[in-house]
Structure 1
Amino acid sequence: MNNLLLNDFHASSDYIGSEKKWIFLIFKGSVILRNNYLNDDWLALDYSSAALFSEVCETKLCIGQYKGIDCEVWGLVGSKLDLKSFILVELRELLVTLNEIVFTMISRSVQLITWHESNKFCGRCGGKNSMSKNEHCFVCKKCDLSFYPKISPCIIVAIINGDECLLARQSSWPAGRYSALAGFIESGETAEQAVNREVMEEVGIKITNLTYFGSQSWPFPGQLMLGYIAETTDKNLRVNELEIAEAKWFKFDEMPIGIPPSSIMSGRLIERAVLTIRNNAI
């Protein structure tokens, strides 16, 4: 490990054999946590706590190490669990409370278990895959095919026009919820081409000064969000209602209440856009 690793978490498929072990429990895409988890900064369980669920554990995978301690995810099975003094929490409920390091580890845990459950058989011949001993990879020896955890790259962009920021909403969202424009990267596209295409498709405007902001894993079920800030001089929106329900310009000091929290990429982008507008206004 080296000092450049995110808060001393090193993603790896290999154990180092530490005496202690941290464990995340996943059941049907949700996370099993202590009843009082809202009071905890650290959500991983020690082995003695996780062992209460050992009889319903089907899969154990190494997710890496945190400060020199092996970290593992257990995939649980069954129609119903005896949760004892624990609670089953949907991942989306955790987004506003998780710090960056725990978000990274839980996201990795959920994505690896989802991948493991979905790739036990070869997509070409239907034969049973075998697990690689060297990495997170299923192998079909008959077809000579490898199946790695699937990661789908996406873009998300906050667009600035003068003292306003462009936000949009999906028809399925609650009233008052807005976010930045987003979409998947198509085959053969660069991320920057995808940003320009998505903006044109969804709101019909051209953008300039496209600047990369940052990235975040988004485990629903396996996206990698690439965030951008852009500018435009075109305020005439032509909303594609097949893509989004609504798009509006908001003044930087009159943003809607229902924007995403800063713990996720969309919220961070909107915060940066507002800060950029405010600094330019000084």
Structure 2
Amino acid sequence: MAEDVNTFAGGVLDRAGALRRDASWVAARLADPASRALVVARDGVFLAGADEGPLRPALAPLPPDPVEPVLLGLEPGGAAVFAVDGGEGPDGSTLTGLRDAAARLDPAAAGLVAHATAMLNWHRRHRHCANCGTRTVTGEGGYVRTCPECGASHHPRTDPVVIMLVTDGDRVLLGRQPSWPAGRYSALAGFVEPGETLEAAVAREVLEESGVTVADARYVSSQPWPFPASLMLGFTAVYTGGEAVAADGELDDARWFTREELAAAVAGEGELRVPPPVAIARRLIDAWLAERI
């Protein structure tokens, strides 16, 4: 679909999936002075850069005795990069909200900070065993938490979300949530339910949110969305019937917009506001306007 990479989808580190299972190898990386750390807090990530210019992850030497560091991967030169939860960033860095910073990060940097944020979000929410409640311990470089009491292993989870641009000739269906700024509309979206295909989720969510039926759901691209741990799965779908209304109480409005209205919104004209370029919803809109999908 897109001619460039979706925001947060440009990670380039070697995740070292086989090597990180070796505890001695991970320990050696933690002791290696070439290894570096990215400090992540609940409110954001420590980044460096000019006030209005590009930002970059503020990587620094690992702190002494880091608590439950997560191996993000190996750089092309072989140096390990870890994520550390909490603490202070290096001199010259600023704690920055990831949503605010996304547009100022290059694809590799955005992928790195999204990976770190998603992993530490998972660790914060899964410190105790879901089976027996005992405090768990980390292993495999932070990619498993094991219960010392019952032996259960817990692995990071990603929540799949379908997000779809519903088309009907030269118009598309968008919706708005009550909490959004005035005039903001976006593609319809919703979580995939257990035992459900992606195509079925597209049809169900569109019907539930807007009262419209669709067919021919087609996958376009995906985007990690670490708020806290979603994977956005972008689709197009073709309108087959029904009147667009805000049907399930989640949306404040659902309505059709013409190609001309969307083009004006992308140009910053008119009353309609579309999502920023960091969102896959905007990438779908841009691709549709360019007739790439």
1:153 corresponds to 2:160: yes
Q: What is the identity percentage for the equivalent residue pairs of Structure 1 and Structure 2?
A: 29
The alpha carbon displacement at 1:6 in A equals 5.7
* Shift, 1:111, TM fit: 1.3
Greater relative CO (CA pairs within 8 A, separation 6+): 2
Provide the rounded CA distance (Å) in 1 between the counterparts of 2:178 and 2:259: 24
Equivalent position of 2:45 in the other structure: 31
Q: Secondary structure at the match of 1:10?
A: coil
1:160–1:273 Cα contact (<8 Å) kept: no
* Long gaps (5+) in structure 2: 1-8, 21-25
Any stretches of 5+ residues in structure 1 without a counterpart?
Answer: none
Verify: 1:268 aligned to 2:276, yes or no.
Answer: no
Q: Does 1:117 align with 2:124?
A: yes
Question: What TM-score do the two structures reach when normalised by structure 2?
Answer: 0.80
Q: Deviations over 1:14-64 (max 9, x none)?
A: 3595763343211124111226265335324232xxx6xx37953421111
Residue of structure 1 equivalent to 2:13:
9
**CA shift for structure 1 position 234:** 3.5
1:123-142 superposed Cα distances (whole Å, 9 cap, x missing partner): 23222212224661001132
Does the aligned pair in 2 maintain the 1:157–1:195 contact within 8 Å?
Answer: yes
Aligned match of 2:84:
74
Offset at residue 82 of structure 1 (A): 8.7
**C-alpha distance after superposition, 1:200-225 (max 9, x if no partner):** 00111111221100111110100011
Q: In the alignment, which of 80, 95, 102 is matched to residue 102 of structure 2?
A: 95
Q: Aligned residue for 2:69? A: 60
For these two proteins, the number of residue pairs brought into alignment is 266
C-alpha separation between the residues in 1 aligned to 2:49 and 2:173? 39
TM-score in terms of structure 1 length: 0.83
Q: CA RMSD in A?
A: 2.8
Say if 1:82 and 1:115 are closer, same or farther in 2 by CA, change over 3 A: closer
SS state of the match for residue 270, structure 1?
helix
Q: Which moved more, 1:155-164 or 1:9-18?
A: 9-18
Once the two structures are superposed, residues 89-138 of structure 1 have per-residue CA deviations (whole angstroms, 9 ceiling, x without a partner) of 11111232333322221111011112222222212322221222466100
Structure 1 residues 235 and 44: alpha-carbon distance in aligned structure 2, compared to 1, 3 A threshold: farther
SS, match of residue 195 in structure 2? coil
Deviates more, 1:81-90 or 1:239-248: 81-90
Q: How far apart, in 2, do the equivalents of 1:84 and 1:99 lie? A: 21
SS of alignment partner, residue 45 of structure 2: strand
The 2-side partners of 1:41 and 1:201 are apart by 40
Aligned pair 1:232/2:230, yes or no? no
The 1-side partners of 2:40 and 2:155 are apart by 20
Summarize deviations over 1:257-278 as a string: whole Å, max 9, x none: 42123333111111122222xx
Deviations along 1:137-187, one digit per CA (max 9) or x if unpaired, are 001132221111121111000111111111111101111211100000011
CA distance in 1 between counterparts of 2:177 and 2:10 reads 33
| Alignment match, 1:206 | 213
